[in-house]
């Protein structure tokens, strides 16, 4: 017991004494492009990597009490595409994602930007907790990936502007009420090429209770499972056009008649559901996808050139 007490004490001491053992989303990567530090990330107050410690705090939304600070860029992304949230302990990209002592899950939510995060607006799009087979927490795989958390934007959600909230919950001190260290950050994104889905949401703060099994958790116990807090992850109705990181569709599509030249079906009808696809992809289908990919890359290059010009 003395040893356990000592290790907990040491961890608390390390956390209290230095800024170094925490984390923040330093930058995001969209379409393979590493965006500038802080670009599209909501301004926040916690010096810069300090945690939120109360699940009731208004800071639980975007790590700030000032949600009016919305003078942030909005980054374009296609529905169904992958965004990479790059967590780092320190300001540099070469620092670790988070200290390995900070075992815990990763969670990602979205809400319409117009809500500014208020109300029952947050739907969960990603979660990763503890894997007993590998004995790895999400933060272990995060660190293995140099702090990069890959998240897919649901392909069927309505086009528009959203807050995307990435979160790590560090559990090293979570055996006491209020001990969990919560690290949320909000990214502003503009989604296009989606469908008509408006997933139902929960309130933040409100979604977590201080004694939720995923918030009040003893890492020193003989656990074999971990219950990730919050709602179930939203499952898109269909994933009509999965898009890989470089903007190419990764699944060929034989619904040629319903394609437009950006490779997306934007007529909003049900025929963009590929659940019944067989392996009868045609050459012309593949070509259309190649053209769609080239078109998207061209738009991406133009956007990059425009950004390079502006900055
Ligand atoms: Cu810490």
Tokens linked to 212: 């939720």
What's the gap in Å between 109 CA and the centre of ligand 1? 22
What's the gap in Å between 99 CA and the centre of ligand 1? 8
What's the gap in Å between 219 CA and the centre of ligand 1? 15
What's the gap in Å between 15 CA and the centre of ligand 1? 5
What's the gap in Å between 173 CA and the centre of ligand 1? 9
Q: Which pLDDT band, with edges at 50, 70 and 90, does 113 fall under?
A: very high
Q: 131 pairs with which residues across the strands? A: 136
Residue 100 pLDDT > 80: yes
What is the mean predicted confidence (pLDDT) over 247-257? 36
For the chain, residues classed under CATH 2.70.50.70 are 22-192
Q: What is the mean pLDDT of the chain?
A: 79
pLDDT of residue 48: 86
What's the gap in Å between 175 CA and the centre of ligand 1? 15
What's the gap in Å between 98 CA and the centre of ligand 1? 8
What's the gap in Å between 55 CA and the centre of ligand 1? 16
Q: Which pLDDT band, with edges at 50, 70 and 90, does 192 fall under?
A: very high
Instruction: State if pTM tops 0.75.
Output: no
Counting beta carbons within 10 angstroms of the beta carbon of residue 79, is it exposed (0 to 12), middle (13 to 18) or buried (19 or more)?
Answer: buried
pLDDT of residue 285: 32
pLDDT of residue 47: 73
Residue 39 pLDDT > 70: yes
What's the gap in Å between 182 CA and the centre of ligand 1? 9
For residues 213 and 209, give the distance between their C-alpha atoms in angstroms, rounded to a whole number.
9
Percent of the chain topping pLDDT 90: 65
What's the gap in Å between 170 CA and the centre of ligand 1? 7
pLDDT of residue 20: 56
What's the gap in Å between 237 CA and the centre of ligand 1? 38
What's the gap in Å between 195 CA and the centre of ligand 1? 39
What's the gap in Å between 163 CA and the centre of ligand 1? 25
What's the gap in Å between 35 CA and the centre of ligand 1? 26
Among the ranges given (103-117, 225-239, 245-259), the one the predictor scored with the smallest mean pLDDT: 245-259
What's the gap in Å between 16 CA and the centre of ligand 1? 8
What is the mean predicted confidence (pLDDT) over 19-45? 91
What's the gap in Å between 102 CA and the centre of ligand 1? 7
Hey, which CATH number is domain 22-192, 2.70.50.70, 3.90.1150.10, 3.40.605.10, 3.20.20.70?
Answer: 2.70.50.70
What's the gap in Å between 51 CA and the centre of ligand 1? 7
What's the gap in Å between 234 CA and the centre of ligand 1? 29
What is the mean predicted confidence (pLDDT) over 129-150? 98
What's the gap in Å between 49 CA and the centre of ligand 1? 9
Q: What is the pLDDT of residues 273-301, one digit of tens each?
A: 333 333 333 333 333 333 344 444 444 44
């Amino acid at each position: 017991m003395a040893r356990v007490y000592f290790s907990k004490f040491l961890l608390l001491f390390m956390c209290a004494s230095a800024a170094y053992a925490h984390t923040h989303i330093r930058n995001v990567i969209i379409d393979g492009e590493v965006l500038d530090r802080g670009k599209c990330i909501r301004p926040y107050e916690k010096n810069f990597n300090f945690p939120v410690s109360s699940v009731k705090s208004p800071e639980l939304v975007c790590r700030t009490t000032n949600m009016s600070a919305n003078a942030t860029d909005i980054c374009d992304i296609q529905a169904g595409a992958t965004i990479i949230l790059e967590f780092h302990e320190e300001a540099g990209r070469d620092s670790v994602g988070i200290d390995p002592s900070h075992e815990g899950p990763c969670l990602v939510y979205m809400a319409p930007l117009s809500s500014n995060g208020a109300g029952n607006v947050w739907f969960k799009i990603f979660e990763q907790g503890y894997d007993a087979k590998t004995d790895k927490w999400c933060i272990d795989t995060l660190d293995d990936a140099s702090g990069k958390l890959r998240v897919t934007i649901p392909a069927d959600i309505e086009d528009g502007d959203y807050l995307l909230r990435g979160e790590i919950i560090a559990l090293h001190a979570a055996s006491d009420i209020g001990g969990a260290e919560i690290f949320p950050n909000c990214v502003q994104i503009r989604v296009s090429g989606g469908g008509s889905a408006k997933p139902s949401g929960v309130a933040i703060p409100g979604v977590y209770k201080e004694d939720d099994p995923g918030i009040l958790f003893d890492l020193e116990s003989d656990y074999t499972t971990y219950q990730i807090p919050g709602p179930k992850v939203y499952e898109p109705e269909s994933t009509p056009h999965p898009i890989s990181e470089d903007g190419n569709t990764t699944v060929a599509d034989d619904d040629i008649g319903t394609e437009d030249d950006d490779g997306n079906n934007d007529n909003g009808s049900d025929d963009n559901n590929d659940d019944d696809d067989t392996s009868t992809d045609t050459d012309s289908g593949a070509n259309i996808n190649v053209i769609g990919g080239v078109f998207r890359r061209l738009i991406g290059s133009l956007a990059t050139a425009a950004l390079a010009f502006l900055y």
